[in-house]
Amino acid sequence: MELTDDEKIFLKFLLNAKLGELKGQEVGRDAPLDFLKAEKEYEEFLNNLLKKFGN
């Protein structure tokens, strides 16, 4: 299955929106660390997904 460029852009938009949600939910003492971990995981996930379907 090959994603079109538009689908890749939309997928990246959705993942960035989710990441923004996580950033907006920063509460509590450990939240900044949790956010940084989630941000890294989302970036890795997106990169792996784009590699899987081609850049």
* CA dist., res. 50 & res. 38, Å (int): 18
| 8 vs 55, residue with greater confidence | 8
Domain boundaries, the chain: 5-53
Give per-residue pLDDT as tens, 3-34.
Answer: 788 888 888 887 777 777 666 655 555 556 66
Alpha-carbon Rg for the chain, nearest whole angstrom, is 13
HSE at residue 12, side-chain half, CA atoms within 13 A, is 14
DSSP state of 31: H
Query: What is residue 13's predicted lDDT score, i.e. its pLDDT?
Result: 80
Please check whether residue 38 is in contact with residue 22, taking contact to mean a CB–CB distance below 8 angstroms.
yes
Q: How far apart are CA 30 and CA 46, in angstroms?
A: 24
Residue-level pLDDT at 31: 58
Q: Is the pLDDT of residue 55 over 60?
A: no
What is the pLDDT at residue 36? 74
Q: What is the pLDDT of residue 17?
A: 75
